[in-house]
A and B are shown apart, each in its own frame.
Chain A
């Protein structure tokens, strides 16, 4: 018995030597997918709770990409979706769980910047790739984390786009609101910065609480300032209430918000007539054909499913190119090689051309302005000409 065991050990050690010998050295190590085992793509987003509908939309985008890809070099691809609750501690726990899964090649996520930030440290520790479809906070790409990429834009891009538009429109009296989250605050901050650089003044900046329903007190106070524009950094749940309650309180100002409010169901449909004329910043419309395909499977396309679809595809593409099939049928994927492949990718996605800069941000201008318009009894986001 003992003898047999020794032989087995020797075999294992030998095979370990065999890997570098076969010419794939990788300073970050390898992911080995044994024969017959599936390749796992992780997904971290909020699947329950306040913004579950946005999180599920992301999951649907990723799922669609995985289902279309089906397999890589004979290994089936499966999506492992985890609910990270959009928050620090849970995201870290989920990140640890995913990074310690030896069959997982990378993660699409995480959904919120507040979750992506601590999770990216975990991913950096294990050198597991993450591509977020929706975390837009500036600091994510400025912290020198090599394994972080995003297929969305960053807050500065978005806020600058909004600010430029405001400057162009010559609106002078502006009130900024945010939902006190990392996301909302950073948008509000960047927007304010950009506005003030151009010599305009912000009348007031106020924060509100996520999950609250009654903003009449804040808006009553704001009404008194007689603003021309209210800019809100936050999500649709609060954004739509603001739009509605602005009308209720009697504020006749424009309302402008961010990608968080770019959802037909939770913003336009929920807000009804009150959302007419509201502006939001969001990516260029995704490929129309894709939207049709998506909507036939999952219902109305919301906010980040196109970005999630692209992120997943980039990950799958990189795996396809980097993975090496062994004679025993197993796959070997170099972690550094995978990362470098993603960093240098030139991908034609449904949200446009995708390439990453050295920080992991998408290059090129991606954000445009939409306005809610009502035409022929239908209300929708209309992209404004650049």
Chain B
């Protein structure tokens, strides 16, 4: 308890919580977008995140091997993001086409099982490709620290938090201001009516997968650069946590997923101060249960749902 009263440690923990929370939020958005439209949980989303991370890794390794990254570090990192987004988006679109679309009118459990299958498939495919070895992101830019007294804040943390906020703002604008975003919401509200209004539902669903995957890919590269080591299992825990965040915020609700991600990150970071760290996950999932008891639809969940 004494830690909670110390402003320095509290600030440090809040920044820690926001960093990981931002990453949870980016992944959670993918879950929530897909759920909003298809009412299915894309359990392979964690693996899409993992593939994005590996995409960025491949590009950065290539660029650091030929020396390009030492002369143009920022450009290299942008390339890594672009490659990761490209790979994950393509993967997301293919998954939707191959694993989910044929099951769209099947009972709800079928696409769920399909998703779990795809998730295991992707994990193992990557394991065979990397021979199960851990891969290490090359150090492209040195990590600088902002030191304020006892506090030391990594510039990586600041960039991750800002990057996440930027992407989320972008997504928000996309969904609420652009025509494609409006079409996405229309499909989420009523797929049949949207189709009869001339919206190509299949195209919108593909775009939804692409956007969710692109956000996960961005999170993947951030994780790679920040934590440096990646392996084929890296999507599992963040996937579960992000799913929790999405449910916390109210699954299907875009601002909810963002809020849920940050909420979970902060809860984990601050929870460590109150009890021993081994209970970190207990805090996260206990919180989920608590929120769901009080608000079964999540923090920002719709109060009235008129799903047919």
Consider the complex of A and B and state whether they touch directly, i.e. have CB atoms less than 8 Å apart: yes
A53 to B229, CA, bound (A): 14
Task: Pull 9 A–B residue pairs with CB atoms less than 8 Å apart, ordered by A.
Answer: A48-B132, A180-B278, A209-B237, A211-B236, A212-B237, A212-B280, A220-B272, A248-B143, A266-B229
Interface size on B, residues (CB 8 A): 41
Identify the closest chain B residue to A272 (Cβ): B139
Does B9 lie within 8 Å of A220, measured CB to CB? yes
A319 to B278, CA, bound (A): 46
Decide if A10 is an interface residue (CB 8 Å cutoff). no
A237 to B132, CA, bound (A): 12
Does B134 lie within 8 Å of A237, measured CB to CB? yes
A208 to B278, CA, bound (A): 5
Which B residues are CB-close (under 8 A) to A217? 13, 16-17, 268-269, 272-273, 277, 280
Known pairs A180-B278, A220-B12; A240 contacts B229 (CB<8 A): yes
Does A48 lie within 8 Å of B133, measured CB to CB? no
Given B20, B229, B272, which contacts A221 in the complex, CB threshold below 8 Å?
Answer: B272
Given B133, B233, B237, which contacts A265 in the complex, CB threshold below 8 Å?
Answer: B133
| Pairs of residues from A and B, 6 with the lowest C-beta to C-beta distance, nearest first | A52-B132, A207-B278, A250-B152, A206-B277, A217-B269, A216-B16
Identify the closest chain A residue to B128 (Cβ): A48
Chain B contacts with A in 139-182, Cβ cutoff 8 A = 139, 143, 145, 147, 152, 154
Write out, one digit per residue, whether chain A residues 210-251 have a CB within 8 A of any chain B CB (1) or not (0). 011110111011011000000000001100110010001110
Identify the closest chain B residue to A52 (Cβ): B132
Does A207 lie within 8 Å of B276, measured CB to CB? yes
A232 to B20, CA, bound (A): 23
Which B residues are CB-close (under 8 A) to A199? none
Decide if A47 is an interface residue (CB 8 Å cutoff). yes
A180 to B278, CA, bound (A): 8
Which A residues are CB-close (under 8 A) to B9? 220-221, 223-224
Write out, one digit per residue, whether chain B residues 1-41 have a CB within 8 A of any chain A CB (1) or not (0). 00100100100110011011000000000000000000000
Write out, one digit per residue, whether chain A residues 180-214 have a CB within 8 A of any chain B CB (1) or not (0). 10000000000000000000000011111101111
A241 to B134, CA, bound (A): 12
Does A214 lie within 8 Å of B227, measured CB to CB? yes
Decide if B124 is an interface residue (CB 8 Å cutoff). yes
Given A208, A224, A270, which contacts B6 in the complex, CB threshold below 8 Å?
Answer: A224
A371 to B235, CA, bound (A): 32
A206 to B145, CA, bound (A): 26
Question: Shortest Cβ distance from A274 into chain B, in angstroms?
Answer: 9
A48 to B127, CA, bound (A): 7
Identify the closest chain A residue to B136 (Cβ): A270
B interface: dominant SS: helix
Q: A208-B280, A240-B229 are in contact. List 13 more A-B contacts (CB 8 A).
A: A50-B231, A208-B277, A209-B280, A213-B229, A216-B269, A217-B16, A221-B9, A221-B272, A224-B9, A237-B134, A241-B229, A265-B134, A272-B228
Question: Shortest Cβ distance from A271 into chain B, in angstroms?
Answer: 8
A14 to B275, CA, bound (A): 70
A221 to B1, CA, bound (A): 11
A212 to B268, CA, bound (A): 12
Question: Shortest Cβ distance from A299 into chain B, in angstroms?
Answer: 10
Identify the closest chain A residue to B240 (Cβ): A211
Which B residues are CB-close (under 8 A) to A209? 237, 280-281
A266 to B237, CA, bound (A): 20
Does B278 lie within 8 Å of A211, measured CB to CB? no
A250 to B145, CA, bound (A): 9
Decide if A142 is an interface residue (CB 8 Å cutoff). no
Known pairs A248-B143, A248-B154, A266-B134; A211 contacts B13 (CB<8 A): no
A204 to B3, CA, bound (A): 14
Which A residues are CB-close (under 8 A) to B145? 248, 250
Question: Shortest Cβ distance from A256 into chain B, in angstroms?
Answer: 18
A48 to B9, CA, bound (A): 39
Which A residues are CB-close (under 8 A) to B228? 244, 270, 272
Does A241 lie within 8 Å of B227, measured CB to CB? yes
Most A CB within 10 A of own CB, among B6, B234, B272, B273: B272
Which B residues are CB-close (under 8 A) to A269? 136
Decide if A20 is an interface residue (CB 8 Å cutoff). no
Does A270 lie within 8 Å of B134, measured CB to CB? yes
Chain A contacts with B in 257-277, Cβ cutoff 8 A = 265-266, 269-270, 272
Which A residues are CB-close (under 8 A) to B16? 214, 216-217, 220
A205 to B277, CA, bound (A): 9
Identify the closest chain B residue to A180 (Cβ): B278
Question: Shortest Cβ distance from A216 into chain B, in angstroms?
Answer: 4
Question: Shortest Cβ distance from B50 into chain A, in angstroms?
Answer: 12
Question: Shortest Cβ distance from B237 into chain A, in angstroms?
Answer: 5
Identify the closest chain A residue to B237 (Cβ): A211
Decide if B248 is an interface residue (CB 8 Å cutoff). no
Which A residues are CB-close (under 8 A) to B234? 211, 213
Identify the closest chain B residue to A249 (Cβ): B152
Question: Shortest Cβ distance from B130 into chain A, in angstroms?
Answer: 9
Decide if B223 is an interface residue (CB 8 Å cutoff). yes
A48 to B19, CA, bound (A): 30
Does B277 lie within 8 Å of A53, measured CB to CB? no
Which A residues are CB-close (under 8 A) to B227? 213-214, 241, 244
Which A residues are CB-close (under 8 A) to B280? 208-209, 212, 217-218
Does A53 lie within 8 Å of B132, measured CB to CB? yes
Which B residues are CB-close (under 8 A) to A223? 9, 12
Known pairs A209-B237, A221-B277, A270-B229; A216 contacts B132 (CB<8 A): no
